Chains A and B, each alone.
Chain A
Amino acid sequence: MDQSDELSLWLANAWLRASGDEIQSLVVEDLREQVEEGRSMADGLASLSHSERQAGDFGMEIAGTLLAPVLVELLKDFWVGYFKKLGESAGGAVAEATTKRVKDWFLSILHKKEDDKVLGDLRDKVERLAAHKKLTPKEAARLLEALRGPKLLQELETK
């Protein structure tokens, strides 16, 4: 699995649980399983918003919440950007940046409980999506609340 995919799914799952969106976190868990089985992340995300009619279905196109795929895409963008920056600043360090080390680094940021630039970046991204109406105000508020609170750290540490 691609490193940025793995980290996105890891963080999205915990973040959604921390924000009380259990159902969406189950969606992310399934997405992770699919990616582990060899399906591309883009395909997995596309299938989530795909609504096909089959006999026995309700058969009306009714839009639901896109929180899970939107958050995964946000985090994918975040980790890709992070690795790019790391590559520019540290050169060979990118190759040594194992997933475990990156996870530890992110946990340490959460431990500090300071208004770190990384968390600020995530907050900005969530607010931008809410401004573009890709997230509802309630969903954005729940996510931001979870980013500030201790539950995200607990969820990440148990995973």
Chain B
Amino acid sequence: MNRDLSADRTALLSASGCSVEILVHKFLFFLILLPFTTLLFPFLTFHITTSLVNFNLSADWQEWKHHGATQEQAALSDRQEIALAAALTLLTLTAAALGYGRDVRRLTIEPSAGRRYFAPKGDKGSTLTIQIKGLWSQVARQSTPPPDVLWFPSAAVLARAMTPSGRLTVAVSAGLWEKIVTDDLIAKIVLLHELAHLAYRDPPTFIRLGALSGAATRILKQMLRVLIFIVLFLVLHQVIANYNAHLGAATIVRQTLMIAGIGFLALLICPVSAAIIRRYIGLITSLIELRADVRSAQWAGGLDRFAEILSNHPLVHQSTLSDRARSWFSLGLTHLSESERIQLVRSPERLLTPKVQYFFFSLCLVLLLPVNGVTPLFEGGIVDLAAVITVATALSVALCTMFVLSGPTSTRIPLLRLFTVSACAVLFTAACQINLYTLTYSLSTIAVEFGLPNKGTMLRWNEVSSVVMSAFHDIGGQLGNIWSGGWIVVSVLITMAALGGLRIAARGLRRTSDPATGWLIVVAAAGGLGVIIDGYDPWRAFVVENTLLGRAFVGWASITTHFRGIRFTLGPCLSLTSMLILSTASRWIRAGRKATRMPDTMQNP
């Protein structure tokens, strides 16, 4: 009985772990990545475009009127340029918002294109409805009305949770309906997964995410059109200027190629931004699906049983390498591959810690942002840095919170897993310092060298290779910095120790019924962890320094003193002491509770 309760608690907390992971990613996505890509980047694009058009056309006008061209004589002032760019951004956003609203309405009425849904008929239809309502009554609150039941023609075993016109609805395929009739175990699992979606009210989230992806794509397409326009404008402008200056055809071609080459790099901002948005939405969607798996596993009799039924069923597709690759790299991700989902559900230690491998590609994509060469020009590339820091922060926040959540479970986090997530956290943070703008700068230099008028000779290959090698050498140096003379190993070990300590502290939650004490432990432990890794990890210190209030935080935490040749930093010392106290306190609380313990009951965290 106790074992069942423990497994139930583990499943419940695993689902909560997924919820935390989803919340963290959603929060950072909506707060940072989405506004950057759909608001700031378009504004920058429009501003650059208006500035270039204004400057060039004004200069042409002055020249035509036989005056000298100066900045002061431009048709639009700086303020007017900004106002125009802001107006264009606002217009684009309004159009995207209208499209978003339209998509939400369309997807609410017609949840999936290409599928026709019907009410089940006949005796089998009535039985199906009764069975689903029966399952719902077992898993949902009594006050929640049972879902409507629909079916759709498909031979495969499929089901879908949706809320057409706001009503909770489960749609089953004909293939699944057959399995329900024959009492196949897999049918119950599929249905419970869908009921879990309804219990968490996931369908409206899916609709909003789908519509959001569409709206963001529209904004980025508009941005791409504007960038293409400005590149073509500059090419044409330069061609006319060169023609009027009676320059040779070779110079005109070279300068055209120069502008087109640099323009091409600038255009990269659109596909990279679109990829970041789509991947992040895919990641959030797949985590929501995983949470439904975990919740349904809890209802179906436990995580192991769920995994066992799916892995032993002969009709379940065995994932291939390409299926796994899709989970790692697909931009249209909705579900992880079958085998990965089964493996994850089977391993609570992976459910209770961040799924870093699916997060890796998001980091790679944001690292590609500076390649466009436009955003690095804005305040020294602070936007690109903030985007990378956001992704690394998402991992760190998810990591700490999930370790706290895993405290009350009996699940053991193996040392290898602890090492893996710690190493990922350190590497992700260290990756914030990688700046690929060097590469763009070098390529732009080559393009400018190539397009310089009156250069006389063609670009020499040794010059090109020298510039490119210099860029790669710089990037290699950045990667080498991560190693930092072995300091990174210490960072990983400290992070491991800190996370382990955090979990021990969080274990106090298991025995305490006082929420205030629980929260105090969590906040203190998480704060302690933050200070520890800040004090020992130069990469995290870099991140903190580059965020608001960072300097003040690093300032007091880095006060250092020497005693008999040993360096003591205030932050880590305070943290280690607080961890020790918290750990002892949690043990003390646990011992105290043990004496007067009531029968263990499952609590919803």
A55 touches B190 (CB 8 A): no
Q: Decide yes or no whether B156 CB sits under 8 A from chain A.
A: yes
Question: Could you tell me which residues of chain A, from 64 to 122, have a CB within 8 Å of some CB in chain B?
Answer: 64-66, 68-69
Flag if A66 contacts B181 (CB, 8 Å): no
Chain B residues with CB under 8 A of A23: 124, 151, 174, 177-178, 181
A133 interface residue (CB < 8 Å to B): no
- Which residues of B are found within 8 Å of A131, using beta-carbon distances? none
Q: Are B153 and A27 in contact (CB under 8 A)?
A: yes
B161 touches A56 (CB 8 A): yes
**Cα distance A63–B175 in the bound complex, in angstroms:** 8
Listed stretches B12-20, B76-84, B115-123, B230-238; interface member = B115-123
CB <8 Å contact, A47 and B114? yes
Q: How many A residues, CB 8 Å from partner?
A: 30
Closest Cβ of chain B: how far from A49's Cβ, in Å?
5
B159 proximal to A (CB < 8 A): yes
Partner of A58 from the list B116, B155, B190, B206 (CB cut-off 8 Å) is: B190
Cβ–Cβ contact B177 & A55, under 8 A: no
A48 to chain B, nearest CB (A): 5
User: Size of chain B's interface in residues, with CB distance under 8 A?
Assistant: 50
Q: Which of B55-63, B97-105, B333-341, B367-375 contacts A (4 or more CB under 8 A)?
A: B333-341
Q: Which of B309-317, B510-518, B545-553 forms part of the interface with chain A?
A: B309-317
Determine how close the nearest CB of chain B comes to the CB of A19; give it in whole angstroms.
Answer: 13
- A58 to B300, alpha carbons, bound, how many Å? 15
- Tell whether A57 pairs with B158 under 8 Å between CB atoms, given A26-B121, A26-B174: yes
Determine if B349 is an interface residue (Cβ-Cβ < 8 Å).
Answer: no
Q: Which residue of A lies closest to B152 (CB)?
A: A30
Nearest neighbor of B209 in chain A, beta-carbon distance = A55
Do the beta carbons of A30 and B153 come within 8 Å of each other?
Answer: yes
For the complex, give the distance between the alpha carbons of A24 and B429 in Å.
55
B112 sits at the interface (CB 8 A): yes
Tell me the chain A residues, 38-65 only, with Cβ under 8 Å from chain B: 47-65
Report the Cα distance A58→B189, complex, angstroms. Answer: 9
Contacts of B338 in A (CB 8 A): 60-61
Is B156 within 8 A of A56, CB to CB? no
- Any B CB within 8 A of the CB of A146: no
Residues of A within 8 A of B111 (CB): 56
Given contacts A23-B177, A68-B174, whether A62 and B186 have CB atoms under 8 Å apart is yes
Within 8 A of A (CB), among B272-331: 285, 288-289, 310, 313, 315-317
Name which residue of chain A comes closest to B113, CB basis. A54
Check A64 against B334 for contact (C-beta < 8 Å): no
Residues of B within 8 A of A68 (CB): 155, 174
Query: Does B385 count as interface, using CB distance less than 8 angstroms?
Result: no
**A-side contacts of B499, CB under 8 Å:** none
List, in ascending order, chain A residues with CB within 8 A of B315's CB: 62-64
Residue picked from A26, A48, A60, A61, most chain B C-beta under 10 Å: A60
> B165-205 interface mask toward A, CB cutoff 8 Å, 1 = contact, 0 = none?
00000000111111101000010001001100100001100
Q: Could you tell me the distance between the alpha carbons of A51 and B159 in the complex, rounded to whole angstroms?
A: 11
Asked if B569 is an interface residue, CB under 8 A from chain A, the answer is no
Most chain B beta-carbon neighbours within 10 Å: one of A54, A58, A68:
A58
In the complex, are the beta carbons of A62 and B210 less than 8 A apart? no
A31 in the interface, Cβ–Cβ < 8 Å? Answer: yes
Q: How far is the CB of B160 from chain A (nearest CB, A)?
A: 5
B157 and A62 form a contact (CB under 8 A): yes
Q: Is A22 among interface residues, defined by CB-CB distance under 8 A?
A: yes
Please state if A55 and B334 are interface contacts (CB–CB under 8 Å): yes
A47 to B313, CA, bound (A): 24
Report the separation of the CA atoms of residues A68 and B256 in the bound assembly, to the nearest whole angstrom.
Answer: 61
- Would you call A65 and B155 a contact (CB within 8 A)? yes
Please tell me if B154 contacts chain A, counting CB pairs below 8 Å: yes
Given contacts A26-B118, A27-B174, A53-B334, contact A62 B159 (CB under 8 A): no
Query: Which residues does chain A contribute within 8 Å of B194, judged by CB atoms?
Result: 56, 58
Are B210 and A30 interface neighbours, CB within 8 A? no
**Is there contact, CB below 8 Å, between B154 and A51?**
yes
Question: Which of B174, B190, B316 meets A61, CB within 8 Å?
Answer: B316
Give bound CA distance, A51 to B153, whole Å: 11
Q: Establish whether residues B116 and A66, one from each chain, have CB atoms under 8 Å apart when the complex forms.
A: no
- Report chain B residues within 8 Å CB of A49: 154-156
Q: Is the CB of B209 within 8 A of A64?
A: no
What chain A residues lie within 8 Å of B153 (beta carbons)? 26-27, 30-31, 47-48
A64 touches B112 (CB 8 A): no
> Does B522 sit within 8 A of A, measured CB to CB?
no
**28 pairs of residues in contact across A and B, judged by CB atoms under 8 Å:** A22-B124, A23-B124, A23-B177, A26-B174, A30-B118, A34-B116, A47-B154, A48-B153, A52-B114, A53-B335, A54-B160, A54-B334, A56-B160, A57-B160, A58-B157, A58-B158, A59-B334, A59-B335, A60-B335, A60-B338, A61-B316, A62-B158, A62-B313, A62-B315, A62-B316, A63-B155, A64-B155, A65-B178
Where the two chains meet, the residues of B that have a C-beta atom closer than 8 Å to any C-beta of A are 111-112, 114, 116, 118, 121-124, 151, 153-162, 173-179, 181, 186, 190, 193-194, 197, 202-203, 206, 209-210, 285, 288-289, 310, 313, 315-317, 334-335, 338, 341
Q: Known pairs A23-B181, A30-B118, A58-B193; list 14 more (Cβ under 8 Å).
A: A22-B122, A22-B124, A47-B154, A48-B153, A52-B114, A53-B335, A56-B206, A57-B160, A61-B156, A62-B156, A62-B157, A64-B174, A64-B175, A66-B155
